[in-house]
C-alpha cells in the first residue's frame, strides 16, 4: 500500500529531509508537518534529498510551493537533490527548475548554500 | 472491429486509496505493453483526476464513491472517472502561474494542467447527475 517516510538529519549544519516512497495527496501532510517543524524552529537552510522518492503528484509539489517563500524571506532556501528522472520530469513539466534549486547531490546543495552565504 | 479489453474499479473517495488506484492503472497498462515512462504518466494523470474528485467534487467525504473504467483497444487506452459530486466548471479554469502562487504562498490548479500535458486528450462532461472525465493515451 501507500508507503511514505521522512527522515530528518543534519549535515554540515544543514537540515536534511530524506524522503522515501510515494508523495501524493495522502502523504503530503507528512512533508508539510516536517517542513513546518523546521520553519517553526527557525531552520531555514533545508536540503530535501529525493534519492528514494519513487513518485510525486502535484499535492507534493504544492507543499514546496506553500513554504518556499517563508524560508527565503528568512534568508534561507529549500534545495532539492538526487531526483530520479521520473520525479524530475514532474517538476520540469510545471516549470519548477527555474524557480527552485534542483541539484545532483547533497554536497552540491551545501556548496550552493555556502556560495550564497 | 477493434479488440477491446476493459477493467473497472470502484473506490471510496479517499486519498487512502490513491496508491491502490495507481496500482490498478500500472498493472493493466504494463501488461498491455505500455512503456514504464508512459505507465508513470498514466498513473500521475489518473492520480490527479481522482484527487480532484476527492477534494473538489466530494470535499473529502469518504462515504462517496468514484468509478474508474479502463479500456484498451488496438490504438489507445482510455480511462474514465465518474462521480456524482459537485461539477467542475472548466470554463473558469486558468492555468496556474507557479511563480505568482509561490509569492502568495498558494498552491493548486496544477492537476488539470498535468493531466492535459500527460495525456493525448482530456474531456470533461457534467451533463445529467454525473460528472465524467475521460482521458485518452495513444499506443506508442
We report the CATH number of the domain holding residue B121 as 3.30.565.10
Q: How many domains does chain B have?
A: 1
In three state form, how does the secondary structure of chain B look?
CCCCEEEEEEEECCHHHHHHHHHHHHHHHHHCCCCHHHHHHHHHHHHHHHHHHHHHHCCCCCCCEEEEEEEECCCEEEEEEEECCCCCCHHHCCCCCHHHHHHCCCCCCHHHHHHHHHCCEEEEECCCCCEEEEEEEECC
The count of CB pairs under 8 A between chains A and B is 78
Q: What is the pLDDT of residues A32-57, one digit of tens each?
A: 999 999 999 999 999 999 999 999 99
A67 close to A35: Cβ distance less than 8 angstroms? yes
- CA dihedral (B61, A6, A64, A66) positive or negative: positive
Q: What is the pLDDT of residues A53-95, one digit of tens each?
A: 999 999 999 999 999 999 999 999 999 999 999 999 999 999 9
ipTM of the shown complex: 0.93
For chain B, list residues whose CB is within 8 angstroms of any CB belonging to chain A.
15-16, 18-20, 22, 37, 40, 43-44, 47-48, 51, 54-55, 98-99, 101-103, 105-108, 110-111, 113-114, 117-118
Of A3, A27, A20, A1, which is closest to residue B15 (Cα–Cα)? A27
Task: Please tell me the predicted confidence (pLDDT) of residue A112.
Answer: 97
CB-CB under 8 Å, B43 with A63: no
Examine the pLDDT at B34 and tell me if it is beyond 60.
yes
Residue B128, domain extent? 5-138
Residue A43, domain extent? 4-116
- Of the candidates B44, B105, B110, which has its C-beta nearest A69's C-beta? B105
Q: What is the pLDDT of residues B50-109, one digit of tens each?
A: 999 999 999 999 999 999 999 999 999 999 999 999 998 877 888 889 989 988 888 888
- Percent of chain B at pLDDT above 90? 79
C-alpha distances out from residue B41 to A51, A55, B120, Å: 20, 11, 11
For residue B14, the chain A residue with the least C-alpha distance is A26
| Residues 6+ away with beta carbon under 8 Å from B77 | B29, B32, B34, B42, B70, B71, B136, B137, B139
Q: How many domains does chain A have?
A: 1
B12 close to B65: Cβ distance less than 8 angstroms? yes
Task: Please tell me the predicted confidence (pLDDT) of residue A1.
Answer: 53
- Of the candidates A2, A57, A69, which has its C-beta nearest B102's C-beta? A69
Task: Please tell me the predicted confidence (pLDDT) of residue B119.
Answer: 98
B8 close to B70: Cβ distance less than 8 angstroms? yes
How far, in Å, CA of B36 to CA of B30, rounded?
7
Task: Please tell me the predicted confidence (pLDDT) of residue B111.
Answer: 94
pTM: 0.95
- Of the candidates A2, A3, A62, which has its C-beta nearest B108's C-beta? A62
We report the CATH number of the domain holding residue A55 as 3.30.750.24
Instruction: Give residue B1's pLDDT band: very low, low, confident or very high (50, 70, 90).
Output: low
CB-CB under 8 Å, A65 with B51: no
Distance from the B4 Cα atom to the nearest Cα atom in chain A, whole angstroms: 29
| Residues 6+ away with beta carbon under 8 Å from B99 | A99
Amino acid at each position: 500500500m501507500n508507503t511514505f517516510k521522512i527522515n530528518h538529519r543534519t549535515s554540515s549544519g544543514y537540515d536534511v529531509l530524506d524522503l522515501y516512497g510515494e508523495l501524493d495527496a495522502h502523504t503530503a501532510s507528512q512533508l508539510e508537518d516536517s517542513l513546518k517543524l523546521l520553519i517553526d524552529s527557525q531552520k531555514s537552510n533545508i536540503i530535501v534529498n529525493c534519492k528514494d522518492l519513487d513518485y510525486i503528484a502535484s499535492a507534493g509539489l504544492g507543499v514546496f510551493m506553500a513554504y518556499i517563500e517563508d524560508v527565503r524571506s528568512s534568508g534561507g532556501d529549500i534545495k532539492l537533490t538526487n531526483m530520479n528522472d521520473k520525479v524530475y520530469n514532474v517538476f520540469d513539466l510545471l516549470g519548477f527548475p527555474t524557480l527552485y534549486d534542483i541539484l545532483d547531490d547533497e554536497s552540491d546543495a551545501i556548496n550552493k548554500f555556502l556560495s550564497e552565504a | 472491429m477493434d479488440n477491446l479489453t476493459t477493467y473497472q474499479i470502484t473506490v471510496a473517495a479517499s486519498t487512502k486509496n490513491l496508491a491502490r488506484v495507481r496500482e490498478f492503472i500500472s498493472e493493466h497498462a504494463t501488461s498491455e505493453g505500455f512503456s514504464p515512462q508512459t505507465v508513470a504518466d498514466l498513473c500521475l494523470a489518473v492520480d490527479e483526476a481522482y484527487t480532484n474528485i476527492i477534494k473538489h467534487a466530494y470535499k473529502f467525504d469518504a462515504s462517496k464513491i468514484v468509478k474508474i473504467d479502463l479500456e484498451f483497444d488496438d490504438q489507445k487506452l482510455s480511462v474514465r472517472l465518474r462521480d456524482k459530486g459537485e461539477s467542475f466548471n472548466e470554463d473558469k479554469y486558468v492555468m496556474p502561474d507557479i511563480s505568482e502562487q509561490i509569492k502568495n504562498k498558494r498552491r493548486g490548479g496544477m492537476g488539470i494542467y498535468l493531466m492535459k500535458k500527460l495525456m493525448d486528450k482530456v474531456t470533461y462532461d457534467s451533463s445529467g447527475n454525473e460528472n465524467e472525465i475521460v482521458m485518452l493515451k495513444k499506443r506508442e
